Structure 1
Amino acid sequence: MNELKPSPVLLCANCTAELQGAFCHDCGQSVKSVIQPMSHMLEDAGDLFFHLDERIVHTLPPLYTKPGFLTLEYFSGRRVRYIAPFRLMFVFCLLAFFFMHLAIGDVKFGGAEGTAPRDSVDAFASAKTADEVHTLYDDQIREVRSARDDPSLPGAAKAGLGAAAGVIREAANARLVQLQAPPIQTEVGETAPKEALSRGQEHVDRWFGAHPNIDIGWLPGVVNRRLNVAFEHFRAHLIPVLNGGPGKAEAMRSILDGFFSVLPQTMFFMIPVFALVLKLFYVFRRRLYMEHLIVSLHSHAFIFISLLGLMLLSFARDAIAPHVPLAGSAIGLVQFAMWVWLPVYLLVMQKRVYRQGWPMTILKYWLIGSVYFWLLLFAIVIAFLIGMSH
């Protein structure tokens, strides 16, 4: 008779404890080795950052169609089959703002690009090369100089044409500086009127002083220096915006890029703030702050998923509507339904999670929404100011 022998026991490579699963029960180290093919490492990286495995099938449909269901599941301890609230919110926040930036990036500031007449100073803003700037400058300055050289022209008119020539040169030089090319030198008789060239500079100097310096005594010197650099960037963006003309569009584009670079961080900050607002309004429900934080994470995840869906449908509608108008109208109806579903969902979620009567739920829903709206508006304004100092 063959003697039965026990099967060999696998030991943890870190602490030599007997393994009874995919992780060591003693030290927590995974059984999986880090020495593996690159394809497996890429899969692990995707799982680490997105974790969008089969659990997304169990997470997204109830999150969008069943208000409060996912939150109550977490409160009950049933979490394994769902994506974690913060990871869910994080991924869809980035995706929503990415596509929103793409959508808003098509907005034209100060008129459509490339449509300014060649005899307008705004035409310099669309020049792609220094040679193109010089060509535009030569075309515009030629007419001004020929009129200025007319011997029958009064002196006052000649002075005005000299100022116009200065305006053209300054506009050309502003674009040449952006293209990192040498500026055009000033010629005799070409001066620009101060109020036409630097009205933005005058406004900024009047509001903040000609040479502002931020020096807060209780802050370290490096922080004060960083604040001064940021404020100089803020002034540099504000001046062309106030001046208008060829530099406004590029300044607004830079401000927009800076704004969207800090907007996700702003929303990450507002999520615990919203949880704190819920805690204050439901202080007598004796719920932990962490419970309100989960409500906040799921609420914002739903909002970001809705915004993402609306952006994608807008792209699809713009592409389909010119060819199939009926399909474009159908997409518009779906978008309208999604906008209506947004406030209804949040109201029903609040009712199911906190389990109060409809009158009290509606009252608190309106109060919480009002408080959060003003807090969010304040945060967005701060994000916009930070974007201007980017």
Structure 2
Amino acid sequence: MMEPTTIEGLHCANCGELLKGEFCHHCGQSVHSVLKPVHHTAEEIVETVLHVDSRILHTLPALFLKPGFLTLEYFAGRRVRYIAPFRLMFVLCLLTFFVLHLVTNEKISRTFEQRQTTVLLDHGQAFAQASNADDVRSILQNKLDALNAVQTFGDSSTFAQAAKAKQQLLEAANRRLAELHAPPLPPSSVAAEGHQTSSFDHPIKPIQIGWLPGFANQRLTSMLQHLRDNWHTYQHGDPVSSEAAKERMISGVFGKLPGAMLVLVPVFALLLKLFYLFKRRLYMEHLIVALHSHAFLFLWLLLCTLLALLAGWLEPHAAWTAYPFNWLERILVLWAPVYLLLMQKRIYRQGWLMTVVKYWFIGWLYFWLLLVVLLVAGALGIAH
């Protein structure tokens, strides 16, 4: 479909209003048709992406380096150049917890690999010291127990690694048994030992809270049952079940954290409203302050995580980078409390004494609220 070369005399296809520009001033619909060739659609997608990128370039540096600047710009009505506060905070929240989840799984997997290497490193010498078949079996069992103990902390790939490591141990043990003219051990001997999963034959007692509706009591009972089952399986299950329970709990916790942080934002805005009650500001103004404060904290946490990853990757190859990275990490850690204090001072425009006192009380109350919310999110995640 051809695009109109002029809008003079045209009427809006949606509401019939006479058009005075490319967008209807009555309903807001564009005069341009959505039925376009593919190459025009691709051009619009590129334009949209570049437009978003330009807003990111205006928003993120100002958010991180200029305390309170974005908030004051919103109060002054200059909003088009910047990403909206809620979208900014929400995207940074999801991105930060996504990266933290990846880093957590990577560290857990690395811990398993290091422990596995330690177990396998000296297996030849250990079995060589065995003087009889019973010693070989005892050494094998000790090393299998060591692998089983750390395997439950690995990710989904570590179970295959552990199976390969156990096979190597079995082969080394059988070589020593052959030298001692003893019968070899069957493959079933490398099966995971230790605690077996004890099933919960009796469900927990149903929760009955009088002022809650029936479905809420049932939900709480189900969550408590899942929490107990997951934790017990993680602690005492076989490696497969334990690893699956660990995956459920970690994924559940990281899945609940973004929602938990969203709950904290309006609560933090309410704290600001109470402490600055006589400033006669609208609650929405405090909410924008809270959104930008949390967006900064998520961006700060993301940068701290990425900086730590970069330092850990570079130091083995260039040891001299340890000194500057240590200083950067210290500066970054100190920047968060300084930034929030300067932001509070700049926005609410009180003297330094009152600003510091209120900053301390708000921070103290927020710390306990954050702790409670994180504990609840952790419990909900374990009950996943």
TM class by shorter chain equals 0.7 to 0.9
The aligned runs of 1:1-390 (5 Å cut-off) are 8-36=8-36, 52-108=52-108, 112=112, 115=116, 118-119=140-141, 120-121=144-145, 123-124=147-148, 125=151, 127-128=159-160, 171=194, 211-216=204-209, 219-243=212-236, 246=239, 251-390=245-384
Q: 1:30 Cα shift? A: 2.7
Which 5+ residue runs of structure 1 have no aligned equivalent?
1-5, 143-164, 175-196
**Structure 1 vs Structure 2: percent identity of aligned residues?**
46
Q: Secondary structure at the match of 2:53?
A: coil
Stretch of structure 1 that moved more, 121-130 or 228-237: 121-130
**CA RMSD for the aligned pairs?**
4.0
Does the 8 A contact of 1:110 with 1:249 survive in 2? no
Stretch of structure 1 that moved more, 282-291 or 303-312: 303-312
Q: 1:210 Cα shift? A: 6.1
Deviations along 1:245-288, one digit per CA (max 9) or x if unpaired, are 85666544432211000101111111111000000100011000
Distance (whole Å) between structure 2 residues aligned to residue 267 and residue 46 of structure 1: 33
Q: 1:102 Cα shift? A: 1.4
Distance (whole Å) between structure 2 residues aligned to residue 18 and residue 134 of structure 1: 78
Q: 1:61 Cα shift? A: 1.8
Distance verdict in 2 for CA 1:286–1:69, change over 3 Å: same
Does the 8 A contact of 1:17 with 1:24 survive in 2? yes
Distance (whole Å) between structure 2 residues aligned to residue 210 and residue 136 of structure 1: 41
Distance (whole Å) between structure 2 residues aligned to residue 220 and residue 45 of structure 1: 49
2:129 counterpart residue number: none
Q: 1:18 Cα shift? A: 2.2
TM-score between both structures, scaled by the size of structure 1: 0.72
TM-score between both structures, scaled by the size of structure 2: 0.73
Does the 8 A contact of 1:55 with 1:82 survive in 2? yes
Distance (whole Å) between structure 1 residues aligned to residue 15 and residue 233 of structure 2: 64
Q: 1:387 Cα shift? A: 0.5
Deviations along 1:163-208, one digit per CA (max 9) or x if unpaired, are xx9xx7764975xxxxxxxxxxxxxxxxxxxxxx79xx8xxx9xxx
Aligned length: 333
Q: Secondary structure at the match of 1:107?
A: helix
Q: 1:221 Cα shift? A: 4.5
Distance verdict in 2 for CA 1:20–1:108, change over 3 Å: same
Distance verdict in 2 for CA 1:331–1:298, change over 3 Å: same
Distance (whole Å) between structure 2 residues aligned to residue 47 and residue 220 of structure 1: 51
Does the 8 A contact of 2:270 with 2:283 survive in 1? yes
Alignment-mate amino acid for residue 308 of structure 2: S
